[in-house]
Amino acid sequence: MTLERLADGLATWLDVSGAAVLTYFILVNTSYLLLLVLATVEFVRHARRHDFAGYDDALASPLTLPVSVLLPAHDEEAGIVESVQAMLGLRYAELEVVVIDDGSTDGTFAALQAAFDLVEVPRVIATDVPTRGRVLSVHVPARSADALVVVRKENGGKADALNTGVNVARYPLVCTVDADSLLDPDALLRVAKPFADDPDRVVATGGVIRAVNGSTVRAGRVVDLRMPRQRLAAVQVVEYLRAFLLGRSGWSRLGALLVISGAFGLFRRDVVVEVGGLDSDVIGEDAELVLRIHRHLREQRRDYRIVFVAEPVSWTEVPATRAVLARQRRRWHRGLTEILWKHRALLLNPRYGRIGLVAVPYFLVFELLAPVVELIGVVVLAASLLLEAVSRLAGEHVVLVSPRYAVLFLGLAYAYAFVLSLAALVVEEFSWHRYSRWRDLGSALIGALLENVGYRQATAWWRLQGILDVVRRTTPTWGTMTRSGFQAADPVAVPARVPAALPAEPDATAGGEPLRRA
Amino acid sequence: VTVTGALLTALLTCALLLLAFATLIVVKRLLSRRAERRALALTAPLRPALFSLLGADLLDDEATEALEVLAAVDAASWRALEPTVVSLLTKVRGDAAEALTGLLARRGTLARALEDCTRRDPVRRCRGAELLGATRARDGVPTLVRLLADRDPEVRAVAVRALGAVGDPAAAPHLLGALAGDRTVPPRLVAVALVRLCPGPEEVLVSALSDSSELVRGMAAEVLGLAGAVTARTGLVEAVSDPAVEVRVRAARALGRLGVPSALPVLLDALAPEQPTALRVAAAAALGQLGSPSAVPTLRAALDDPATEVARAAASALPALAAPGIAALREAAVPLPALRPPRRGLLRALDADSGGAEHAREVLALLDLRAGRFPDDAGVQEAA
């Protein structure tokens, strides 16, 4: 009798939890449906305007804003030369490439020196944004001193390397890229267009990052795009499509884009300087910078825009093994947690408009807490199935009550998510249509299925660990970290823990995307 | 039971949606492949004719014949071919461009472009304007001028670029006019379009130097410099004393580009410490472009300026002032006493206010590189 009552209670609890998880999933996925609709509107707009975008005019114009491409590198010996060559070959009116060798211990610098015939030169470096690692030397190619600058500095992490790059940059726009970012030749023209269209308001633009595994890459360029054969990578292709491409396009359309990937972002240099550069103390320094720009410009009541450019022109290799993926996701989620905590003053604060009232609360509820709800769902599902099985086995002897709805609830939740993954594929097919083979379509469909069965549950576990990393280790230092608001490099704001953002992290190569969806 | 029913219905809906989406992708792919194949089949036989048109220096018999062939193709083939013809138009000049424009006129594409410029849909108006620009036909200018005041900002921007492409100087006052009012356009686009109208509208631009709008005055100065309008020098010299800083900066820059010797006194004044930093930077650069050694003392003094931008601009300008300029840099770059590490003579990151020596060394080192004199990089090798 007692057992029966216990089982009854458990079954009810499972049903209620299942309903709660389902409600959460419906809300998350419906928000994604809305973002997808907004993104589709944006894509149609964009596609209809391609014929008169005026890229060739921008390329030839003497007044196109010149760009400094900032390429931080730490132990990138293998790919650095190819990457720099590809950056130098970008089609653009006027650009310089600034490589910041952030205390590499391998042959990164030697490779660059040999390839570009570098010579050391004296150089006055501005101190517009504060930096930590001392600059050791500055080098330029002996025969074309204007196009490339290589700065060697003491190790200080990626954010610090970028800050040094901002100081070295001579041009009004700075473009952050990763050493392993692959850009199409026209990438910079595309991402710079909003600055030309709306010069008074646009302060930053971000390019979409797509997964390139399985494709053919030659001389730093993607020459033949394919879906990866490898399942884990194929799942991420679909995930990047839905989360980054559609999600960010939607947010951009709403005027509340919170994330620009450091793997391909373009910023007005004066605005970066104004907010004090990148914060060396957070993991997702790229997203933190964008949030800080929002915060600063909203506080100043300035009319500004941060725009996402959805046209697929930048690519990166995504983790191909579980171990690397786990580290990456744990890191991203830790970054998200830190950033939201640091900027918690924005939460539901009407002073920050739609950033404070919509975007930040959304990220808190539907991004940060998503892994928690996801794992509750898994537990409920497992327990329901178990209870069901036990009550069947026990048969006539003991009549156990099994939960009636939990399995259906969760089945529906995942089915809805699967529908959205597929809708993302439809949008891709109708807009950019980058995967042309039938085989690619098959891989994408399987990827969309696996994303919802297995993949997201696994990442939820890793993401949860990211939250725990923050809770366990760093709570006491936060007060001082947020004290000064925008003084990212205020010495008082330096906590004891300095995450070695660039070194020591084996997944740093794939760390360009600090925030992701639920 | 009702809950279960509702849940099952929802699940079924999801399954149907999944099926529908998958089918949609497949159908879309099949259809677009078929369309591609059709277009290719229609245009392939016409390509030789198109290429013989492009290769024509003068319209010879072969080209004329090709033109006739292309003018006579059926409607479906023309629809498939038209985008190619239009995109070729932006890549060719001279007779070939004229032949293509003539073809577009005969096939009614131009008339359609003009008509598109009056449509309700802003995208259609943009397309019409873009096409009018691509054909560089002056008949389109009045229409494009009208579109400068379109209610859609994108249409206005495309009209500006198109007017630049057509290159009719008569459009200049309208382009300048588009900078003011409620329906404005990005100034940089206007500047580029105006440069493309030159030579021709210089007079209009010179009188615009005394326009009531600061933006128009600055734009006129910038464009006169970019267009190499040496006749504008008097107006530009005066504009360096304009009440608006932005206009002064642009006028100084233009005088530098034009290399106007008589601008020397105003530019030296503009470099004075009490002037705004942006103006001083522009003045220093312009003095370099003028190349007159009499600017050496002033630039030499600016090397030690507390404003990094000014010091850097002065250092970069000095080499252009021939031997005296380089001598001034060498003098400024005297080796510092023992506070350098003895092993290396090159400087590292420095504070902005540490004087002109660093700027001078930086510029001299680059000068050496350009002259093919490479520093002894033994120290660098050692460090690596």
Question: For residue B189, which residues of chain A lie inside 8 Å, CB to CB?
Answer: 196
* ipTM of the modeled complex: 0.85
What would the pLDDT profile of B211-243 be if each residue is shown by its tens digit? 888 899 999 999 999 988 888 888 999 999 889
Among candidates A63, A122, A430 on the partner chain, residue whose Cβ is nearest the Cβ of B188: A63
Q: Are A272 and A174 in contact (CB under 8 A)?
A: yes
Per DSSP, A229 falls in state S
Q: Are B247 and B255 in contact (CB under 8 A)?
A: no
Q: How sure is the predictor about B347, in pLDDT bands with cuts at 50, 70 and 90?
A: very low
* Separation between Cα atoms, residue B77 and residue B98, nearest integer Å: 21
Cα diameter, chain B = 97
Angstroms from A409 CA to nearest CA on chain B: 7
Backbone angles phi, psi at B211, to 5 degrees: -65, 160
Whether residue A316 lies within 8 A of chain B, CB to CB, comes out as no
> Residues 248-267, chain B: which have Cβ within 8 Å of A?
none
| Residue B251, pLDDT score | 94
* Separation between Cα atoms, residue A268 and residue A296, nearest integer Å: 14
Indicate which of B21, B91, B358, B380 best probes the interface with A, i.e. most A CBs within 10 Å of its own CB. Answer: B21
Q: Are B324 and B291 in contact (CB under 8 A)?
A: no
Strands in A95-102's sheet, in edge-to-edge order, are A118-121, A135-141, A148-153, A95-102, A67-73, A173-177, A264-268, A202-211, A305-316, A182-183
Question: For residue A414, which residues of chain B lie inside 8 Å, CB to CB?
Answer: none
Angstroms from A443 CA to nearest CA on chain B: 13
Among candidates A122, A423, A429 on the partner chain, residue whose Cβ is nearest the Cβ of B347: A122
Whether residue B187 lies within 8 A of chain A, CB to CB, comes out as yes
| B366·A121 Cβ contact <8 A | yes
| B8·A51 Cβ contact <8 A | no
| Residue A78, pLDDT score | 86
| A412·B10 Cβ contact <8 A | yes
What amino acid occupies position B108?
G
Whether residue B297 lies within 8 A of chain A, CB to CB, comes out as no
> Residues 120-179, chain B: which have Cβ within 8 Å of A?
123, 126-127, 129-130, 154, 157-158, 161, 164
| A126·B380 Cβ contact <8 A | no
What amino acid occupies position A194?
P
Among candidates B130, B312, B384 on the partner chain, residue whose Cβ is nearest the Cβ of A110: B384
List the beta bridge partners of residue A222: A217
| Residue A149, pLDDT score | 96
**CA-based angle B371:B372:B373, to the nearest 5?**
95
| Residue A414, pLDDT score | 87
B375 token code pair: 């520093």
Q: How sure is the predictor about B376, in pLDDT bands with cuts at 50, 70 and 90?
A: low
**CA-based angle A66:B250:B305, to the nearest 5?**
80
Identify the helix (H) or strand (E) that includes residue A97: strand A95-102
Backbone angles phi, psi at A264, to 5 degrees: -165, 85
Question: Which residue did the predictor score with more confidence, A191 or B79?
Answer: A191
| A408·B8 Cβ contact <8 A | yes
Angstroms from B55 CA to nearest CA on chain A: 23
Whether residue B35 lies within 8 A of chain A, CB to CB, comes out as no
Residue B350 pLDDT more than 60? no
Exposed, middle or buried, A473 (CB in 10 Å: 0-12/13-18/19+)? exposed
Average pLDDT over residues B101-108: 86
| Residue B345, pLDDT score | 38
CA proximity to B134, closest of A56, A62, A187:
A56
Identify the helix (H) or strand (E) that includes residue A312: strand A305-316
Question: For residue B11, which residues of chain A lie inside 8 Å, CB to CB?
Answer: 408, 411-412, 415
List of residues 6+ apart from A103 with CB closer than 8 A: A74, A133, A153, A154, A155, A156, A503
**CA-based angle A325:A330:A334, to the nearest 5?**
150
Indicate which of A52, A173, A197 best probes the interface with B, i.e. most B CBs within 10 Å of its own CB. Answer: A52
| Residue B77, pLDDT score | 87
Mean pLDDT of chain B: 84
List of residues 6+ apart from A421 with CB closer than 8 A: A238, A242, A448, A449, A451, A452
What would the pLDDT profile of B258-288 be if each residue is shown by its tens digit? 988 888 999 999 999 899 989 999 999 999 9
| A137·B157 Cβ contact <8 A | no
Indicate which of B27, B117, B188, B330 best probes the interface with A, i.e. most A CBs within 10 Å of its own CB. Answer: B188
| Residue A232, pLDDT score | 93
Whether residue A116 lies within 8 A of chain B, CB to CB, comes out as no
Identify the helix (H) or strand (E) that includes residue A69: strand A67-73
Nearest residue of chain B to residue A404 (CA atoms): B4
Q: Would you write out chain A's pLDDT as a tens digit for each of its 518 residues?
A: 577 788 788 888 888 888 888 899 889 989 999 999 999 998 888 888 888 888 888 888 888 999 999 999 999 998 899 899 999 999 999 999 999 999 999 999 999 999 999 999 988 888 899 999 999 999 999 888 789 999 999 999 999 999 999 999 999 999 999 988 889 999 999 999 999 888 889 999 999 888 888 888 888 888 888 899 889 999 999 999 888 888 899 999 999 999 999 899 999 999 999 999 999 988 889 999 999 999 999 999 999 999 999 888 889 889 999 999 999 999 999 999 999 999 999 999 999 999 999 999 999 999 999 999 989 988 888 888 888 888 777 765 555 666 777 788 888 888 999 999 999 999 988 888 888 888 899 999 999 999 988 898 999 999 999 999 988 875 433 333 222 222 233 222 222 233 333 333 333 333 333 333 32
**Number of Cβ within a 10 Å radius of residue A190:** 21
Nearest residue of chain B to residue A198 (CA atoms): B186
The 3-state DSSP class for residue A7 equals: helix
Question: Which residue did the predictor score with more confidence, B338 or A188?
Answer: A188
| Residue A250, pLDDT score | 92
> Residues 411-440, chain A: which have Cβ within 8 Å of B?
411-412, 415-416, 418-419, 422-423, 425-426, 429-430, 433, 438
| B186·A127 Cβ contact <8 A | no
Scored b (16 or more CB within 10 A) or e, A196-218 reads: bbeeeebbbbbbbbbbbbbbebe
Q: How sure is the predictor about B346, in pLDDT bands with cuts at 50, 70 and 90?
A: very low
Q: Are B366 and B333 in contact (CB under 8 A)?
A: no
Strand ranges for A178-239 from DSSP E? 182-183, 202-211, 216-218, 221-224
Q: Provide the number of CB pairs (under 8 Å) joining chain A to chain B.
A: 151
Tokens 């171990």 map to which residue?
A323
Residue B334 pLDDT more than 80? no
A405 token code pair: 């709805």
Scored b (16 or more CB within 10 A) or e, A252-262 reads: bbeebbbbbbb
Instruction: For A450-461, give the secondary structure using H, E and C.
Output: HHHHHHHHHHHH
| B365·A121 Cβ contact <8 A | yes
Instruction: For B303-361, give the secondary structure using H, E and C.
Output: CCCCCHHHHHHHHHHHHHHHHHHHHHHHHHCCCCCCCCCCCCCCCCCCCCCCCHHHHHH
> Residues 299-338, chain B: which have Cβ within 8 Å of A?
308, 311-312
Residue B335 pLDDT more than 70? no
Helix axis angle, B245-258 relative to B214-226, nearest 10°? 10
Among candidates B22, B308, B380 on the partner chain, residue whose Cβ is nearest the Cβ of A124: B308
Helix axis angle, A406-430 relative to A370-394, nearest 10°? 130
